Amino acid sequence: MLEPNTKAPLFTLPDQNGDMVSLASFAGKKVVLYFYPRDNTPGCTREAVGFASAYQEYQARDIVVIGVSKDSQASHLRFSTKFELPFILLSDPELEVIQSYDVWKEKKMYGKVSMGIVRSTYLIDENGIIEKVFPKVKPDAHAAEILAWLDEHDKK
């Protein structure tokens, strides 16, 4: 995982609508950049729906929410339409951004070893610096976990 207080790697990827989205275009805003394994799977759906449910609160704080997986743009479009996801989903089938954020890891499930995305999130500040890393997150409470961390952090 990348470390807090380091520069977030810049990228440009297509979103669910086929538009190119660059991290640099969000300078001056906080960005929640979350990586998830696959569209339309139970955990990933719960995580995405959690972000959708909390989206107004993220908007009120002027925070951009971006999900990234290796799924295609067409898959993202179906996923975002089906669950009415109001935020950006980026397609990274070549794993360029996924690997630059160090979330492509060896995973073990039921004794089988494979490579895949470890569900992780980076909170990037207004200057493009990684403010907080959330490794191996739990999908059900993750959107609320970030907001709670922000509430606590903003008090300091």
Which residues does the annotation mark as catalytic? 44
Residue 31 belongs to what H/E stretch? strand 30-35
User: Which of 45, 124, 115 minimizes the C-alpha distance to 78?
Assistant: 45
Residue 39 identity: D
The tokens for 37 are 């394994």
Helix count and strand count (H, E) for the chain = 5, 9
